[in-house]
A and B are shown apart, each in its own frame.
Chain A
Amino acid sequence: MSIKVRIPTPLQKLTDGKSEVESSGKTVIQLIDELEKKYPGIKERLCDEKGNIRRFINIFVNEKDIRFLKGQKTKLKNGDEVSIIPAIAGG
């Protein structure tokens, strides 16, 4: 299983400068746990103390905001593309 994950600039220090990495996981939150194994420290940046995705982080699975799907329990499959986008600005 391979899922393409796009890493925002502030987190690229943890991914050896890579803006895109491959990972796996059946759900978004599992994917974050997998990323943590490979890139220690990334989970505490993405999730709060309770393990929930921080409120200013937007995660998109195949261009779709996971809050329109099943949140951090959104299911993933082989070939999916996940984008992590910090604080939506705009307005």
Chain B
Amino acid sequence: MSYVKSLKCRECGRTYPKKPIYVCEWCFGPLEVVYDYGKIKKVLTKEKIFSREKNLWRYKELLPIDGEPTVGLHSGFTPLFEAKNLEKVFGVRKIFIKDDSVNHPTLSFKDRVVAVALSKAKEFGFKMVACASTGNLANAVASHSRSAGFNCYVFIPANLEKSKIISSLIYGVNLIAVDGNYDDVNRLCGEIASKYKWAFVNVNLRPYYAEGSKTYGFEIVEQLNWRVPQHIIIPAASGSLLTKIYKAFKEFEQLGFIKKLNTKFHIAQASGCSPIVSALKEKSEIIKPVKPNTIAKSLAIGNPADGIYAIDIVKKTRGFGEVATDEEIVEGIKLLAETEGIFTETAGGVTVAVCKKLIESKKIPKDEEIIISITGNGLKTQEAVENKIGRPIKIKPNMAEFEKFLKKGA
């Protein structure tokens, strides 16, 4: 049973049938999935969702597949918890962490989008799946391609962190390391996608793929017991995640699952790659691409596809945009680890650092409630913190040596 009506151009509104396409033929705007909410409203209730297994497919009517899901059956439904220690450090009333650093199976929010994209790729009958990635997506496509039985090519910028490279290669897929930055990889993949009949999850399947990010937002609402937070801080590379969390809240509002969407959406980028936040701050109509130079490689997209839409939402919800320097990113990673015991990757460091700045600058009032979006795992970006943390204390295996250290250290 499908609840998808069609694809629709976000710019000119022309509609298209459900196919592996992503660009409006007329004006070249991006295509978006449109649902029949009237039909969904008749079949989907909070109780029904609650009765289902704890994975992202519990919201399947709001995801763009025609049949039953086939990929990522254990992905999603990651923890949302109150960060009491971080609240004390920041001096605010309430902070929640939505923690996709433990998403199944590849430890980032990309398991969500890939679950949806590869389920759709199966429906379309593709044999080969591919992606352009800053690392996390490559890991997710590589992993899910194996369990789902696809052939797989992943394309990455050559300078990625070692862990992100190994976490793709381990699955025995074809990993193409392109001499260039993500935007070069992306452009190449656009050209490859027009020549080869492959399912590029974030090119020709992007309208479907991106919908998977909505489940991050659905889960937040459900885990808050069917309400939205006052503030949410979201890291941005292409800007897609932010737009889809907004869409998720909107859809739940439309279905009557929440009363009113009154969340302020804040956008976090690294200062070494902040085309979206810069355009927001400069009140610019266009987003000027940048050449990324930041340790937050997972956010290093200089030409963000959904940047203008992300800006629209931040403005509409009266949120803010802020950036974090490399030093602040490392501090953010360490702070989250030392207060909440969560080791996040560089993107998480950006989000924590930006949260701190928004509170300090009083853009987020201290008596309000904030969600910090943690989208990836620190084990994948160890290089970023390697030389900025303590060292092991080396001793001989006897009590005397240990107590010598204790006296000295304490």
Contacts and interface: CB of A to CB of B under 8 A. Distances in A.
Contacts of B305: 87-91
A66 to B, nearest CB: 10
Contacts of B187: 58, 60, 85, 88
Nearest to B291: A68
B135 interface: no
Interface string A62-80: 0001011000000000000
Interface in B288-308: 288-289, 301, 303-306, 308
Contact of A90 (B29, B202, B288): B202
Contact of A91 (B23, B25, B239, B286): B239
Given A9-B194, A55-B286, A87 B239 contact: no
Given A65-B289, A67-B288, A67-B289, A88 B190 contact: yes
A4 interface: no
Given A9-B194, A67-B288, A88 B28 contact: no
B36 interface: no
Q: Which of under 10, 10 to 19, 20 to 34, or 35 or more describes the interface residues of A?
A: 20 to 34
B182 A90 contact: yes
B28 A91 contact: no
Mostly helix, strand, loop or mixed at chain A's interface?
loop
A54 B202 contact: no
B306 A91 contact: yes
A26 to B, nearest CB: 24
B332 interface: no
B27 interface: yes
B22 interface: yes
Given A90-B238, A91-B202, A91-B304, A57 B28 contact: yes
Contacts of A60: 187
B30 A89 contact: yes
Given A8-B194, A56-B11, A65-B303, A89 B25 contact: no
Given A67-B288, A88-B187, A10 B23 contact: yes
Interface string A34-47: 00000000000100
B143 interface: no
Interface in B108-133: 132
Among the interface residues B23, B186, B237, B305, which one has the most CB atoms of the partner chain A within 10 A?
B23
Interface in A1-55: 8-10, 45, 54-55
A74 B288 CA distance: 15
A77 B378 CA distance: 48
B110 to A, nearest CB: 10
Given A65-B303, A89-B190, A90-B203, A56 B288 contact: no
B129 to A, nearest CB: 15
Contacts of A8: 194
Contacts of B24: 87
Nearest to B11: A56
Contacts of A88: 183, 186-187, 190, 303, 305
6 contacts: A54-B11, A67-B286, A85-B191, A87-B22, A87-B23, A91-B238
Interface of A: 8-10, 45, 54-58, 60, 65, 67-68, 85-91
8 shortest interchain CB distances as A-B pairs = A91-B238, A90-B186, A86-B28, A10-B25, A86-B23, A56-B28, A89-B203, A89-B206
